[in-house]
Amino acid sequence: MKLLIVSDSHGDDQILQTLVEHYEGQVDALIHCGDSELSWTDPLRSHFIIVQGNMDFDQNFPLQETTTIADQKILVVHGHRYGVNFGLEQLSLLAQEQAANLVFYGHTHQLACVMDQGRLFLNPGSISQPRGRFVSLKGTYAIVEVADGQIQVQYYQRNLQPVPGLKLTFQQKEH
């Protein structure tokens, strides 16, 4: 299974269109972790599993999305309602409640990836307004591949090129 994870595009529809054109058919799903600033009726929306962020004012977007793809239980949130600026404790509790083993979130505009209690917590960073250590990359997203008991995460830049040194591999626990 292969997923593209993006977040915090903040009205930058062109980069979302570029991702759709480049990856659709190559990944099992395109996932947006909120603050897209798309309207519910925008044709781009139909290409993504997408949630509402704190800057998404169209109330049609769900605050969280739980789905299963290829036996992987996936939880998608923006993160602002779960205190992700201060840690992953609240999000971890939600992931336990939902029995999710892949948890994708945004909001901080900073990429992050940890395996905790058999769950992958991944923030792709902001594709349009990055902050923190990797601000010089001018925006990031991630590709997550799950196969043969392993989870591989590769971060990419806006120019669709992999970020050197930001490829991570985790062993997946039985779920």
Encode pLDDT of 24-50 as tens digits: 999 999 999 999 999 999 999 999 999
Task: Give residue 107's region: left, alpha or beta (phi > 0; psi -120 to 50).
Answer: left
What is the reported pTM? 0.96
Residue 114 tokens read as 């940890």
Provide the percentage of residues in the chain whose pLDDT is more than 90: 97
107-129: average pLDDT: 97
Q: Tell me the fold of 2-171.
A: Purple Acid Phosphatase; chain A, domain 2 (3.60.21)
pLDDT tens, position by position, 38-96: 999 999 999 999 999 999 999 999 999 999 999 999 999 999 998 999 999 999 999 99
Alpha helices in 28-127 (DSSP H): 89-98
pLDDT band at 22 (very low <50, low <70, confident <90, very high): very high
149-158: average pLDDT: 98
54 in Cβ contact with 84 (< 8 Å): no
